[in-house]
Amino acid sequence: MNSISPQVIEDLGKVWAKAKDKNSHPPIHALVIASSNPFLYSAGADIKAFTSMDESSGAELINSAHALFRELGSEGVATIAAVNGLAFGGGCELAMSCDVRIAARSALFGQPEIKLGIIPGFGGTQRLPRLVGSNKALEMNLVGDPILAEEAFEMGLVNRVVEDHELLDTALAWARKLGAQAPIALEQIKRVSAAGDLDEGIEAEKRAFATVFASADAMEGIAAFLGKRAPDFQGR
């Protein structure tokens, strides 16, 4: 399911370290993040893994994922998300951390965390408003329902929508185009564009996530999700 688990973050981190290594020969100027699963990009955070984590390991996952996602959007390698199928929760947040998002027509985007009694934990409260505006971002985060690729394009969440069979070719074409740009100029544009209050907002999201995740409602929401039943939230 390409769930955002400690192992997935570690593996992505290893690939990213090679991609951004300025001493690599030949140098890498663009990276496409795609899924080999024909039905989904990423189903989001690994909920079962979360339930087995203590406070320390949970914080380590959050911090390492945030650090990686931050670099994807600010370092000097162009990053393109080729989104097919489901991109929910952490999967949507991974896509949002990239410079460009290309969506297959069958793609679905969503931040369903609220239905589990928790909140987006990998930047969804911060990057989503920057892409689609505060009004639509609040709607997506509060309601939790998915949106179709066409709506995501109209909102500004994705750059292009293409037929499913054209997705990877289109993403690679973008990689070639961006990878051929002046490297220093590309890096500086990314860094300046990523400046501002994002880091402060991410820190606020981390604190909010920790507070919510420790609540009884979060435990109930996760248990209901794993048990395939409707949650009974009590506001505790």
What three-state secondary structure class fits 95? helix
- 43 close to 3: Cβ distance less than 8 angstroms: yes
Distances (CA, A) of 63 to 29, 116, 150, 207, 236: 26, 21, 32, 11, 26
Q: Which of 113, 139, 150, 163 is catalytic?
A: 113
Residue 188 is predicted with a pLDDT of: 86
| Rounded CA separation 198/121 (Å) | 14
113 is catalytic: yes
Higher pLDDT: 119 or 53? It is 119
pLDDT in tens, 16-75: 999 999 888 888 999 999 999 989 999 998 888 878 888 888 889 999 999 999 999 999
Domains of the chain, each with CATH number or no CATH: 6-167+179-226 (3.90.226.10)
Whether the pLDDT of residue 161 is over 90: the answer is yes
| Rounded CA separation 201/125 (Å) | 8
DSSP state of 129: H
Preceding amide of 183 cis, omega within 30: no
Whether the pLDDT of residue 194 is over 80: the answer is no
pTM: 0.90
Distances (CA, A) of 11 to 4, 5, 91, 150: 11, 10, 15, 31
10 is catalytic: no
Residue 46 is predicted with a pLDDT of: 86
Q: Which of 93, 139, 205, 220 is catalytic?
A: 93
In sign, the C-alpha dihedral spanning 137, 33, 180, 103 is negative
Taking alpha carbons only, the member of 78, 74, 8, 64 closest to residue 41 is 8
Based on its alpha-carbon atoms, the radius of gyration of the chain, rounded to whole angstroms, reads: 17
- 50 close to 102: Cβ distance less than 8 angstroms: no
Pairing of strands 108-110, 147-148: antiparallel
The confidence band for 214, taking pLDDT boundaries of 50, 70 and 90, is confident
**H/E segment holding residue 110:** strand 108-110
